[in-house]
């Protein structure tokens, strides 16, 4: 059993353990009376039958994506993954975040074609059936929209759930064809330094990706979490660009073009860029910098009783693997290293956990990730100072949740 609560305890953090020895503050159960063991009603008659495809319990309807749709532009908007209601690292496919600029096209896979042209030896097209002949690879990877957490550029902290703030990030097991194989089959001309990828959605969202990345670890994904892609995730195929911002993972992929220059499309000029204090724009900022967020406890949740809680959250980095996550319960004065759920995978969500004794005191909870390149999360104030007043994308500053004496959790800048 742990000896609890010393003066040097960082406001209740219990070393890096992610759970405490049995009995140490965990006396949550109720002594059993016989009434507590009454026969549940489901035991007295046969239950429901078999289904070809299961769905969540009707009691869990609150575990849903929050939606912000643009009424003036049909199909333009976002939906957020409810990170505060989820556990582990896998996001259920039905709860993966969405960011659509022209809505979700209804694509008949029998009619869909992927074309590859431009500065290639020979232009090629593939049907879905032809792509199913190619070798496949599988990886568990996060995808984060470059616009995730953008309310944290605001002057005042937004009060909403962790998911509605930071849930334009999700993590799935993706399976598909190594993009390199398709590019090698067509043959790149010398000077083909950019790959332009276009989706079959309204407006034809297209993005430019350096050939070096395209030939490295990119994937033409056809499966997500074991089954074929969901329509809102790009059915029948999308690009997966490990560790790079979400807009490069072009959905409903129908056209690849090799070129000697980027397309300078709307989504790499007018959007997904940041005007810096110098007057220059931050452009082609592809890599997702290290980031973490505490999902439990988080705003909207309530600590009803004093005692030991498990602080838990998600960390990730587009640069590589999470090396360590530190947690503070006193606003950053002291930090304690959290435990990481294994196996830790590159460019993948990593779940961290640490035990915390809440004695009814006010607390400021923060998490800070460091990845295996040594890169870490900056304090929000430092990030805002660096990027200036026009920040809109790629917020990866440290997030702070305040717990008050009543156990209520809110979002603060501290």
Q: Which is nearer to a copy of itself, 207 or 355 (CB)?
A: 355
**Is residue 29 near a copy of itself by the rule CB under 8 A?**
yes
Q: Which is nearer to a copy of itself, 180 or 319 (CB)?
A: 180
**Is residue 232 near a copy of itself by the rule CB under 8 A?**
yes
Identify residues 277-306 at the interface with a copy of itself (CB under 8 A): 305
**Is residue 351 near a copy of itself by the rule CB under 8 A?**
yes
Cα distances (Å, whole numbers) of residue 318 to 177, 185, 242, 323, 376: 21, 28, 7, 13, 12
Question: Residue from 238, 254, 291, 411 that binds a copy of itself (CB under 8 A)?
Answer: 254
**Is residue 54 near a copy of itself by the rule CB under 8 A?**
yes
**Is residue 32 near a copy of itself by the rule CB under 8 A?**
yes
How many residues in the shown chain lie near a copy of itself by CB under 8 A? Answer: 133
Question: Residue from 160, 210, 230, 332 that binds a copy of itself (CB under 8 A)?
Answer: 230
Question: Residue from 249, 353, 368, 387 that binds a copy of itself (CB under 8 A)?
Answer: 353
Identify residues 198-227 at the interface with a copy of itself (CB under 8 A): 200-204, 222-223, 225-227
Pair 215, 229: CB distance under 8 Å: no
- d(CA 136, CA 220) in angstroms, rounded, equals 9
- d(CA 96, CA 106) in angstroms, rounded, equals 18
Q: What angle do CA 24, 27, 30 make, to 5 degrees?
A: 165
Peptide linkage before 343 cis (omega within 30 of 0): yes
Pair 65, 98: CB distance under 8 Å: yes
**Is residue 9 near a copy of itself by the rule CB under 8 A?**
no
Pair 235, 98: CB distance under 8 Å: no
- d(CA 229, CA 128) in angstroms, rounded, equals 12
> What residues have CB less than 8 Å from 310, skipping those under 6 apart?
18, 19, 296, 353, 354, 355, 356
Buried b (16+ CB within 10 A) or exposed e, 361-371: eebbbbbbbbb
Rounding to the nearest 10 degrees, give the CA dihedral for residues 70, 64, 154, 272: -60
**Is residue 163 near a copy of itself by the rule CB under 8 A?**
no
Nearest distance from residue 62's CB to a copy of itself, in Å? 10
Identify residues 360-399 at the interface with a copy of itself (CB under 8 A): none
Nearest distance from residue 164's CB to a copy of itself, in Å? 13
Q: Which is nearer to a copy of itself, 147 or 391 (CB)?
A: 147
Pair 91, 348: CB distance under 8 Å: no
**Is residue 7 near a copy of itself by the rule CB under 8 A?**
no
Q: Which is nearer to a copy of itself, 7 or 50 (CB)?
A: 50
**Is residue 72 near a copy of itself by the rule CB under 8 A?**
no
Nearest distance from residue 220's CB to a copy of itself, in Å? 12
**Is residue 178 near a copy of itself by the rule CB under 8 A?**
yes
Q: Which is nearer to a copy of itself, 103 or 388 (CB)?
A: 103
Identify residues 132-161 at the interface with a copy of itself (CB under 8 A): 133-138
């Amino acid at each position: 059993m742990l000896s609890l609560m010393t003066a040097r305890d960082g406001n209740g953090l219990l070393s890096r353990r992610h759970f405490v020895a049995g009995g140490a503050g965990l006396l949550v159960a109720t002594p059993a009376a016989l009434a507590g063991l009454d026969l549940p009603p489901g035991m007295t008659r046969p239950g429901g039958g078999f289904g070809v495809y299961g769905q969540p319990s009707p009691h869990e309807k609150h575990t849903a994506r929050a939606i912000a749709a643009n009424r003036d532009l049909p199909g333009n908007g976002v939906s957020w993954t409810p990170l505060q209601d989820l556990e582990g690292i896998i996001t259920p496919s039905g709860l993966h975040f969405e960011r659509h600029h022209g809505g979700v096209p209804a694509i008949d896979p029998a009619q869909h074609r992927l074309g590859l042209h431009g500065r290639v030896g020979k232009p090629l097209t593939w049907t879905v059936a032809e792509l199913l002949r190619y070798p496949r690879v599988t990886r568990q990877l996060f995808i984060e929209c470059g616009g995730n957490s953008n309310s944290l550029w605001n002057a005042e902290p937004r009060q909403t759930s962790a998911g509605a703030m930071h849930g334009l990030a999700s993590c799935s097991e993706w399976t598909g064809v190594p993009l390199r194989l398709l590019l090698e089959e067509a043959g790149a001309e010398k000077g083909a330094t950019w790959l332009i990828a276009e989706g079959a959605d309204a407006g034809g969202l297209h993005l430019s990706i350096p050939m070096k990345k395209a030939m490295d670890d990119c994937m033409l994904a056809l499966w997500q979490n074991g089954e074929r892609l969901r329509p809102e995730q790009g059915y029948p195929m999308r690009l997966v660009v490990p560790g790079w911002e979400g807009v490069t993972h072009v959905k409903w992929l129908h056209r690849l073009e090799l070129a000697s220059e980027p397309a300078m499309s709307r989504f790499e000029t007018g959007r997904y860029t940041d005007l810096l204090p110098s007057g220059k724009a931050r452009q082609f900022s592809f890599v997702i910098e290290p980031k973490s967020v505490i999902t439990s406890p988080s705003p909207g949740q309530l600590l009803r009783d004093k005692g030991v809680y498990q602080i838990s959250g998600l960390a990730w980095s587009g640069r590589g693997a999470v090396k360590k996550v530190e947690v503070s319960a006193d606003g950053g004065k002291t930090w304690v290293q959290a435990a990481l759920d294994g196996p830790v995978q590159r460019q993948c969500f990593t779940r961290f956990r640490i035990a915390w004794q809440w004695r009814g005191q006010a607390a400021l909870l923060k998490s800070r990730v460091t990845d295996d390149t040594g890169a870490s999360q900056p304090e929000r104030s430092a990030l805002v100072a660096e990027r200036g007043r026009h920040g809109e994308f790629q917020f990866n500053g440290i997030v702070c949740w305040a717990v008050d004496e009543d156990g209520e959790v809110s979002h603060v800048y501290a």
